[in-house]
């Protein structure tokens, strides 16, 4: 079973497009009702509270790398726990990788072999040749950063160019994020294992990306909740005709709330209102 099949199965089983981000910031772990001494025990409690409400879990490696070897162990232990107890739920490793080919081979081994992740986030700046080791993992998911959710995203992503690409049949002006969407969906997605990261904080851009990428591609969508993205607007802009195609991520708004299960259920149900 490849990543997209696993994802679609989880979406159907839990009737959910919600992804819970296990961004276990050690400085905040004691702020909610779930209080545990380690990142792994914290994550385990969140997983147990939300496993029937999600289509995936996303782990941002920065929160684990920041405390050194103990954090890497917690990251590994969390992935192992999910694979053992909830093998039907996809694991997205939010590592934002992208380097020269030889270096990426090491990243591939870490994300997919050591951690056992089902998908990874990547930036496109070095081009297809550099990320080919990830693309060649045909059963894994590759989410390419396209239009990110941060306030400064437009500094580069909105730069406009005259693009002439005979392969993609483009001969017009495009913003950089639009060209990334074209490349990822039309050139890099030959094995149907590529998706895009598009922030909920930019609904017009999300709509543009859906039009460019078509109906089949999945988008990982950060920015709902703490970053201010609106659920209704996001769903209208990004859903495909099947009422799917979006993985709506929420991290802080769920895992550091007074009751993570209640908050996850509320967001899952709110998302479903607009499907």
Per-residue pLDDT tens over the stretch 41-79:
999 999 999 999 999 999 999 999 999 999 999 999 999
Which class does domain 3-152+193-273 fall in?
alpha beta
| CA distance readout (Å), 53 to 155, 176, 272 | 36, 35, 11
Closest by Cα among 165, 153, 156, 212 to 184: 212
pLDDT > 90 in the chain, percent: 83
Assign residue 55 a region (left: φ > 0; alpha: ψ between -120 and 50; beta: otherwise): alpha
| CA distance readout (Å), 18 to 189, 220, 231, 237 | 24, 10, 11, 17
What is the Cα–Cα distance from 146 to 154, expressed in whole angstroms?
11
At residue 32, does pLDDT exceed 60?
no
What is the Cα–Cα distance from 110 to 87, expressed in whole angstroms?
19
Q: What was the pLDDT predicted at 213?
A: 96
As annotated, the active-site residues are 96
Q: What was the pLDDT predicted at 234?
A: 96
pLDDT > 70 in the chain, percent: 97
User: Which DSSP string corresponds to 141-171?
Assistant: EEEEEEE-SSTTTHHHHT-EEEEEETTTTEE
| Residue 121 in tokens | 């986030």
Per-residue pLDDT tens over the stretch 224-233:
876 778 999 9
């Amino acid at each position: 079973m490849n990543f997209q099949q696993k994802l679609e199965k989880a979406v159907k089983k839990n009737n959910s497009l919600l992804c819970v981000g296990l961004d276990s910031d050690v400085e905040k772990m004691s702020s909610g009702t779930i209080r545990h001494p380690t990142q792994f025990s914290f994550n385990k409690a969140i997983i147990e509270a939300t496993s029937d409400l999600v289509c995936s879990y996303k782990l941002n490696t920065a929160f684990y790398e920041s405390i050194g070897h103990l954090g890497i162990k917690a990251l590994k232990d969390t992935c192992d726990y999910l694979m053992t107890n909830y093998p039907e739920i996809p694991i997205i490793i939010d590592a934002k990788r992208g380097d020269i080919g030889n270096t990426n081979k090491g990243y591939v081994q870490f994300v997919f072999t050591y951690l056992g992740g089902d998908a990874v986030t990547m930036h496109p700046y070095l081009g297809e040749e550099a990320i080919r080791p990830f693309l060649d993992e045909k059963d894994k998911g590759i989410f390419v950063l396209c239009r990110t959710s941060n306030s400064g995203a437009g500094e580069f992503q909105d730069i406009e160019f005259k693009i002439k690409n005979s392969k993609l049949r483009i001969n017009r002006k495009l913003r950089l994020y639009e060209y990334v969407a074209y490349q990822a969906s039309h050139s890099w997605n030959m094995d149907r294992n590529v998706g895009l990261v598009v922030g909920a904080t930019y609904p017009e851009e999300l709509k543009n990306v859906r039009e460019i990428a078509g109906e089949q591609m999945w988008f990982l969508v950060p920015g709902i909740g703490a970053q201010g993205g609106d659920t209704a607007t996001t769903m209208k802009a990004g859903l495909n005709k099947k009422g799917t195609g979006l993985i709506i991520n929420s991290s802080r708004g769920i895992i550091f709330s007074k009751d993570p299960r209640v908050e996850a259920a509320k967001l899952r149900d709110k998302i479903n209102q607009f499907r």
